[in-house]
Amino acid sequence: MNANASTDLAFPGRDKLIAAVDTALAGHDEHAVTSALRNSMCTLIRDRDVHLPDCVFDPIDDHYARRELYRSAEHGYSVVAMTWAPGQGTPIHDHCGLWCVEGVWNGELEITQYELLERDGDRFRFRAAGGMHAGPGSAGSLIPPHEYHTITNASDDKVAISLHIYKAPMENCSKFEPQTDEWFLRVDSTLQTDNAPA
């Protein structure tokens, strides 16, 4: 894994995907931008002209894969494909203050949102505030401060692929380790990306 891997991969429909994201960014606030991106994401997932690179369909045994497909020099956003082998998932985590739109490209994912109830230094008290079973073609968004969530591929035998568009490259986040009752300990984490062949 490479903490600073940044790739601009060629793949069928790449220009269409970038144009859709650039157009959505014309919105005047984060709610308008993420709403437009959710709609665009759902359209792109169903678009037969758009095919993600072959590498994103290859899971990695010991962690879910994060492969950056594109980083916009003009607008600053980052497009990351994640590959989830059966049973792989995240702990509760935040997005370091960045909005994000996430769409399920292939397979199915379980997403659980968490509400922050209380904070005591690096100790946070969360309660599950709803979840969703997301299948291919579905998309959602996270806008801070409502960004705490988990993602899991609950399938026993199928790989899942999701596409994530971040306001800026997300290279750090906070993860939350369970303590007692509803309390979790915040741990700062450096996010790495997996190398993708050019």
pLDDT band at 197 (very low <50, low <70, confident <90, very high): low
Report, as an integer, the average pLDDT of 156-167. Answer: 97
Classify residue 6: in a domain, yes or no.
Answer: no
Number of domains observed in the structure of the chain: 1
> CA-CA distance, 50 to 44, in Å (whole number)?
7
In a domain, 36, yes or no: yes
Residue 6 has pLDDT above 60, yes or no: no
Label residue 198 by pLDDT band (50, 70, 90). low
Token reading at 95: 């997005």
Q: Is residue 198 part of a domain?
A: no
- CA nearest to 120, candidates 180, 189, 185, 188: 185
pLDDT > 60? residue 4 = no
> How many Cβ atoms sit within 10 Å of the Cβ of residue 140?
17
Please state, in angstroms and rounded to a whole number, the distance separating the CA atoms of residues 134 and 108: 6
Query: Residues 16-63: pLDDT tens digits?
Result: 999 999 999 987 799 999 999 999 999 999 999 999 999 999 999 999
In 24-108 the beta strands, taken as DSSP E runs, fall at: 65-71, 78-84, 92-93, 100-106
The three-state secondary structure class of 176 is strand
* Triad 86, 129, 40: Cα angle to 5°: 65
Within a domain: 7: no
Whether 191 contacts 170, CB under 8 Å:
yes
pLDDT tens readout for residues 92-118: 999 999 999 999 999 999 999 999 999
Which segment of 1-15, 85-99, 119-133 scores lowest on mean pLDDT?
Answer: 1-15
Could you tell me the two tokens for 70?
Answer: 């594109």
Average pLDDT of the chain, as a whole number: 92
Whether 31 is covered by a domain: the verdict is yes
CA neighbor of 180 nearest in space, from 125, 129, 132? 125
Among the listed residues 45, 44, 28, 27, the one whose alpha carbon sits nearest the alpha carbon of residue 36? 27
Give yes or no for residue 150 having a pLDDT over 70. yes
Give the three-class secondary structure for 149: strand
What does the pLDDT average to over 127-151? 93
d(C-alpha 50, C-alpha 4), whole Å: 26
The CATH number that applies at residue 159 is 2.60.120.10
**Domain assignment present for 24:** yes
In a domain, 32, yes or no: yes
Confidence of residue 8 (pLDDT cuts 50, 70, 90): confident
Helices within 71-197 (DSSP H only): none
**123: domain range?**
14-190
Residue 1 within a domain: no
